[in-house]
Amino acid sequence: MSRTVWILLQLRDGKLHRMAREAITAGQALATAVGGRASAVIVGHETDAASQEAAAFDLDAVWVADDAKLAAYTPGAFVGTLVQAVRGAEVAPDYLVAPHTYQSVDFVPRLGQQLDAAVVPEAVSFEAADDGMVFRRPIMGGKLQARVRTRGEGLAVVTVQSGAFSASDATAGSADVRALSIDFSTVAADREILGVEQVGGDQVDLSKADIVVAVGRGVGGEDKMQPIHDLAEALGADIGASRPVIDNGWLPRDRQIGSSGQTVAPKLYVAAGISGAIQHLVGMKSASCVVAINKDASAPIFSVAQYGLVGDLHEILPVLTEAVKAAKAS
């Protein structure tokens, strides 16, 4: 039996979101793996530009739900629309694939619940098994990966992690743009949108920093930050941090690096006491040279580092600071 994959495409400013393109790659690959075809689904308002972009990929169709009620994202309106779309489909989908964005995570689990589907968040890869698909996803903050299987024949909803599939691997083609038939009179927002704000007002801009010394929870406390400042000064670096450092109030919010914070691409990134969760890695993976200092040799940060030092940062950093000073003086 041929399988149908629907790829839920997220828009940003009327265009396809960067991660929507990654989802196309993932959805096409999943369709191939299950022996079926993929279509795209766009939910929004004034979607012409985005649907034209999507139509340039090898897809069965680009299904569009376009209504003023969908101009601003709310889970109520998006879930309401997509439940109708799935239930009313000529060919019901077997898989829904969405990018693992903060918007998807907000509504996709609820969509899955409404459709009585299996929900697989944050898939990084999949493989066909005898009785269905097996998905790989990170657990324990990325320290481990789990292989999970969906039970039964029903619908599975999968979100794919940022960077797991490459946008440039999507197969080009040409697809028809078609309107989904949705009764929008029953679709309702469940939020009254009041606005968007920048976190913490004036931002320190780390995006152009040449060298970043980044500190994680492993530093052990606000009163133990001096070695970080000393190394940053010796290197002429900006200071960045992982989320717990900010949440604990050891540094201001505008120093946070990662999916909720800033994205940096320095030539040198020193990560001290940072485990390397994906939400941190997405903010620094473009650094040219990463040095990781961590007392746990199995910390995931070492998988993106060029040089790894296993040990106590409080022993290593003061020595490193002196060595950097000496190197610069000579």
Partner 1 sequence: MKIAVCIKQVPDTEARLRVRKDGRWVEEEDLPFVINESDNYALEEALAIAEQRGGEVVVISLGPARVKDALRKALALGAKRAIHLADAAFDGGDAAATARALAAVIEREGCDLVLTGSQSDDAGWGSTGSIVAGHLDWPHAWLVMGLEVEDGGSAKVTREMESGMNEVFRLQLPAVIEVQAGINHPRYASLKGIMQAKRKPIDTPTPAEIGLSADGVGAAGSKIEVLDVAFPSSGEGAEMIEGDAAAMVATLVEKLQREARVL
Ligand X SMILES: Cc1cc2nc3c(=O)[nH]c(=O)nc-3n(C[C@H](O)[C@H](O)[C@H](O)COP(=O)(O)OP(=O)(O)OC[C@H]3O[C@@H](n4cnc5c(N)ncnc54)[C@H](O)[C@@H]3O)c2cc1C
Q: Which residues bind ligand X (CB under 6 A)?
A: 141, 216-218, 242-244, 256-261, 273-275, 277, 279-280, 283, 293-296, 299, 312-314
Question: Of 55, 184, 225, 260, which lies in the binding site for partner 1, with binding defined by CB under 8 A?
Answer: 260
Asked if 37 interacts with partner 1 (CB under 8 A), we say no
Q: Partners of 37 in the beta sheet?
A: 4
Distance, CA of 268 to CA of 262 (rounded, Å): 16
| CB nearer to ligand X: pick between 27 and 261 | 261
| CB nearer to partner 1: pick between 178 and 267 | 267
- Whether the CB-CB separation of 245 and 215 falls below 8 Å is answered with yes
Total residues interacting with partner 1, rule: CB under 8 A = 95
- Whether the CB-CB separation of 227 and 317 falls below 8 Å is answered with yes
Q: Which positions from 232 through 251 interact with partner 1, judged by CB under 8 A?
A: 243-244, 246-247, 249
Q: Which positions from 71 through 100 interact with partner 1, judged by CB under 8 A?
A: 74-76
Question: Of 1, 68, 172, 194, which lies in the binding site for partner 1, with binding defined by CB under 8 A?
Answer: 194
Distance, CA of 148 to CA of 133 (rounded, Å): 9
Distance, CA of 132 to CA of 159 (rounded, Å): 17
Let me know if 308 is exposed, middle or buried by CB neighbors in 10 A (0-12, 13-18, 19+). Answer: middle
Minimum distance from residue 38 beta carbon to partner 1 (Å) = 22
Minimum distance from residue 174 beta carbon to partner 1 (Å) = 31
Question: Of 42, 57, 262, 264, which lies in the binding site for partner 1, with binding defined by CB under 8 A?
Answer: 262
Distance, CA of 123 to CA of 156 (rounded, Å): 12
Minimum distance from residue 178 beta carbon to partner 1 (Å) = 28
- Whether the CB-CB separation of 54 and 9 falls below 8 Å is answered with yes
Minimum distance from residue 220 beta carbon to partner 1 (Å) = 11
* CA dihedral of residues 244, 245, 248, 250 (deg, nearest 10): 180
Distance, CA of 245 to CA of 35 (rounded, Å): 46
| CB nearer to ligand X: pick between 86 and 313 | 313
Asked if 329 interacts with partner 1 (CB under 8 A), we say no
Question: Of 168, 174, 185, 198, which lies in the binding site for partner 1, with binding defined by CB under 8 A?
Answer: 198
Asked if 24 interacts with partner 1 (CB under 8 A), we say no
Asked if 229 interacts with partner 1 (CB under 8 A), we say no
Phi-psi region of 233 (alpha: psi -120 to 50; beta: other; left: phi over 0): alpha
Q: Give which of partner 1, ligand X, none residue 280 binds (C-beta under 5 to 8 Å, depending on kind).
A: ligand X
Residue with tokens 């290197």: 235
